[in-house]
Amino acid sequence: MRRWHTTVALSGVLALALWGQETKVSEGRILYQRHCAVCHGANGRGDGPMSKFVYPSPTNLTKGVFKFRSTPTGTLPTDEDLKRVISEGIRSTPMFGIKGILTDSEIDALVAYIKTLSPAFQSGEKGEPIKVNPLPPSPELVSEGRKLYFELGCDSCHGKNGQGDGPAAKSLQDEKGRPIRVLSFSDARNFKAGSSPADIYRTIMTGLDGSPMPSFAEMLSEKEGWALAYFVHSLVQNRAEPKWFGSQISVAQLNKLPLKPEDDLWNSAPVVNLALQPTWDRVRSPDFLQVQAAINGQTLVIRLQWLDEKRDASTKGQSDAVFVQLPLDANKAVPSLFYGDPQSPVKILRWDAGKGLTVYSAKGFGTQSQISDTNVQAAGQWLKNRWVVVFSVKGLNLSSHLPVSFSVWNGSLGDIGEKRLMTGWHFFVTQNP
């Protein structure tokens, strides 16, 4: 009797757990369709509508091959690894993080769903995270690391000085025959898997599966691994990282609003620098967008500034431009970063040096349609080496927390259409007067 009871109780628990897992997966599926499918494709094959433009190619998630793992080469990532990459995003790519935009439990749901896209998670080899026990840094370790760097041929791809210009680097290609860039170690933002010594150690020991970056775990002792990690870390010069996604932009409450690009009143609005990331294969320039915002009643003004050496103001071809993307309804879920979605549509205010202001609404990639909106105005000015553009939006009910994202086009660097620079979602936050 007793046994029978236990079995029933147990299968009840199991059923409940399975049911819980299924609801997680279906919650994850909805979030995936909203935030990820535009690049990774409806079925995870890496073939979403934006994938044609995006460099590097969005991962085919059905294959079960992952770069950013804590586990040995050839094994699957842990749930924590997937969670980290989805939460933090992948630096130097337009996959922005989603922490602070989705809740922790929503990100868990995405992880559960991602794992259903590939049969590898049923049959493939689970990996145990490798040990990461930092040795204290020392000049001796760094010089041992330098020696190993050349002995192991890191320089053949990464170059003598870690600039990404080794002789083998030029011919590296992905499966679509597109070039694989080896980025310079001099800039912290080039480290997709993180730029701390522990991150670098992990990358060297695990390798980035699916890329030419191999695992060196079989060849190195722990001490040699740390020596290399500290050496590579010593090459990082630029450690400044402008805000990448999810930051707060304080909106100043002012009695009189600055309406022109060069108005002294702008001095009373706080300045924030947001990282700009190209969607496609071109140099990251400019690095950041400078944003200020002020509000009076229901009128919001936004000033945007970015470096641009050449003014391109064509009415037909490639011209300099900028857009502000806002949700149509601030009370809905944060929209897809790529033109919203049916549940959370967006409004886009686009100022173009050639064509001036256009306002669009959209509820998904490729659904942008022009609307007439007399509440929006914009003016831009080119000051020899930079653009200053001001938007004003009337009749806005700015709740305390309004999602916003930006895009910039530099005509002479080849930006056009989806080839652009963009930010992740950030938030306008009103200051109390």
Residue 244 interacts with ligand HEC (CB under 6 A)? no
Binding mask 198-227 for ligand HEC (x = CB under 6 A): --x--xx---x--xxx--x-----------
Among 28, 32, 31, which Cα is nearest to 44's?
Answer: 32
Interface residue with ligand HEC, options 41, 64, 72, 94 (CB under 6 A)? 94
212 or 356: CB nearest ligand HEC: 212
Looking at 77-85, 253-261, 268-276, 311-319, which segment touches ligand HEC (CB under 6 A)? 77-85
b or e along 398-425 (b: 16 or more beta carbons within 10 Å of the residue's beta carbon)?
beeebbbbbbbbbbebebeebbbbbbbb
Q: Exposed/middle/buried for 135, CB within 10 Å: 0-12, 13-18, 19+?
A: middle
For the chain, state the CA radius of gyration: 24
DSSP assignment of 52-85 equals TT-SSPPP-TTS---SS-SS-TTSBPPHHHHHHH
Interface residue with ligand HEC, options 110, 252, 289, 393 (CB under 6 A)? 110
Write phi, then psi, for 105 (nearest 5 degrees): -75, -30
Looking at 18-26, 30-38, 285-293, 351-359, which segment touches ligand HEC (CB under 6 A)? 30-38
Q: Look at the block and give the residue holding tokens 């200020």.
A: 292
Would you say 216 and 224 are in contact if contact means Cβ atoms under 8 Å apart?
no
Q: Tokens representing 91?
A: 């630096």
The Cβ-side half-sphere exposure at 232, using a 13 Å CA radius, reads: 30
343 or 412: CB nearest ligand HEC: 343
Looking at 93-101, 354-362, 384-392, 393-401, which segment touches ligand HEC (CB under 6 A)? 93-101
Give least dist CB 25 to ligand HEC, A.
13
Among 285, 163, 158, which Cα is nearest to 216's?
Answer: 158
What's the CA gap between 194 and 241, in Å, rounded? 12
Residue 90 interacts with ligand HEC (CB under 6 A)? yes
Interface residue with ligand HEC, options 11, 103, 156, 315 (CB under 6 A)? 156
Give least dist CB 268 to ligand HEC, A.
36
- The residue count for binding ligand HEC (CB under 6 A) is 47
Give least dist CB 279 to ligand HEC, A.
7
Q: Tokens representing 158?
A: 């990464």
- Residues in contact with ligand HEC by CB under 6 A are 35-36, 38-40, 50, 54, 56, 58-59, 66-68, 77, 82, 85-86, 90, 93-95, 98, 110, 114, 152-154, 156-158, 168, 172, 180, 182, 191-193, 200, 203-204, 208, 211-213, 216, 228, 232
